[in-house]
Amino acid sequence: MASATTQERLDQTGNQEQENQAAQAAARKRARYGPFFWVPLIWLGTIVFCAAFADILPLQPNDEMDFTAISSPPWEAEGHIMGTDLQGRDVLSRIIYGARVSLTVGIVATVIGMTFGLMIGLLAGYYRGWVETAITLGLDTLLALPALVILLLASVIFGGSLTVVSVSLGFLLIPAFARVSRANTLNFAQREFVVAAKAMGARDVRIIVLEILPNVVLPVAAYALVVVAFAIVVEGALSFLGLSVPSPMPSWGGMIAEGRESLGETPHISFIPATVMFLTVLSFNLVGDALRSKLADLRESAL
């Protein structure tokens, strides 16, 4: 019985493939503007808004210990909607202030990685030859290093702070962006308009900045949101190990780690920040993916 239906499926697979591709494209179009795009976008908007205006929102202080409500679950103690942690600090407030850390690191690191990655990729793709060889060697070296270890080292060497974590994480993100940027540069460096510019005597800098860069920026930037999600995860891992921002300052990874001590009795201390972090990472992935496939469609239709 089961194998009969399987046989049918197998028969249909080949014939249907073309229809499927059209159906898939349509499905992608629907999904892009559907709830899988808007809901995460609204969530991200909320997080960004709360993080930006944390100081003027009616929140409990994030570092004050309420000794009348230690580790109290959500809704139980007055004034603590999401409960309190092991030291009686307000979880909601710490989550919102923690969002500042995650978002700052995620965005700053991505911007650093993208800026340098773009430049390096442009150089490698345009000049080829020994420049390309040297750059590829450098990028592969960065890729061969275990990222988390380098971040641990950096925060032991320079002390854990927003700047140190953002900059060193940004540094480690360079290879990913540089590869995309190099591949796209290779593609454009041989197109007619570049050849024309060369023939008219344009200098290399002019060609790279005015002719190639505008074409390479978009496909590279399309990865940015997905990379932000990745950066937030790495920062989370680092603060989980206690090596991101210093202790009293709230961070999502740090909060998850603190709650581990009493996971059996008061799981909310770990699971509320974990849920918030999961939703944020998922949202960045969903929105990033939707934007990326939209950009890909745009470029296909432009060619």
Partner 1 sequence: MRYLASRLGHLLAVLFSVTILTFVLVNVLPGDIAYDIAGLDASEKEVQAIREDLGLNRPVFIRYVEWLGGVLTGDWGQSYRTGEPVLEAIMSRFPVSLELVIIAQVIALLLAVPLGVISALRANSRFDRVVAVAGFFCLSIPNFMMAIILIYVFGLWLNWLPVTGYEPISEGLWANLRNFILPASSFALAEWTVLARVLRSDMIGVLQEDYISMARAKGMPVRRILWVHAMRPSSFSLITLLGLQVGALIGGSIIIESIFALPGVGRLLVGSVFARDFLIIQGCITLIAVAYVVINFAVDVCYALLDPRVRTARSHG
The footprint of partner 1 (CB under 8 A) covers 3, 6-7, 9-11, 13-14, 17, 20, 23-24, 27, 136-138, 140-141, 143-150, 152-153, 156-157, 229, 233, 236-237, 240-241, 253, 256, 260, 263-264, 267, 270-271, 274, 277-278, 281-282, 285-286
| Spatial distance between the Cα atoms of 168 and 170, rounded to a whole number of angstroms | 5
Which C-beta is closer to partner 1: that of 121 or that of 288?
288
Q: Can you read off the two tokens belonging to residue 200?
A: 């008219």
| Spatial distance between the Cα atoms of 30 and 17, rounded to a whole number of angstroms | 19
Which C-beta is closer to partner 1: that of 217 or that of 274?
274
Sequence-distant (≥ 6) Cβ neighbours of residue 214 within 8 angstroms: none
User: Among candidates 93, 92, 84, 83, which has minimal Cα distance to 61?
Assistant: 93
Q: Is the dihedral of CA 186, 192, 198, 203 positive or negative?
A: negative
Minimum distance from CB of 248 to partner 1 (Å)?
Answer: 20
Minimum distance from CB of 30 to partner 1 (Å)?
Answer: 12
Minimum distance from CB of 28 to partner 1 (Å)?
Answer: 11
User: Which stretches of 171-245 are assigned E, i.e. beta strand?
Assistant: none
Which C-beta is closer to partner 1: that of 141 or that of 247?
141
Which C-beta is closer to partner 1: that of 60 or that of 285?
285
Which C-beta is closer to partner 1: that of 109 or that of 286?
286
Which residue type occupies 4? A
Minimum distance from CB of 179 to partner 1 (Å)?
Answer: 14
- Contact (Cβ atoms closer than 8 angstroms) between residue 145 and residue 88: no
- Contact (Cβ atoms closer than 8 angstroms) between residue 66 and residue 250: no
| Spatial distance between the Cα atoms of 266 and 90, rounded to a whole number of angstroms | 14
Minimum distance from CB of 143 to partner 1 (Å)?
Answer: 8
Minimum distance from CB of 281 to partner 1 (Å)?
Answer: 5
Strand partners, 90: 84
Which C-beta is closer to partner 1: that of 59 or that of 281?
281
Q: Is the dihedral of CA 13, 17, 21, 26 positive or negative?
A: negative
Which C-beta is closer to partner 1: that of 66 or that of 258?
258
Minimum distance from CB of 136 to partner 1 (Å)?
Answer: 8
Sequence-distant (≥ 6) Cβ neighbours of residue 199 within 8 angstroms: none
| Spatial distance between the Cα atoms of 92 and 87, rounded to a whole number of angstroms | 14
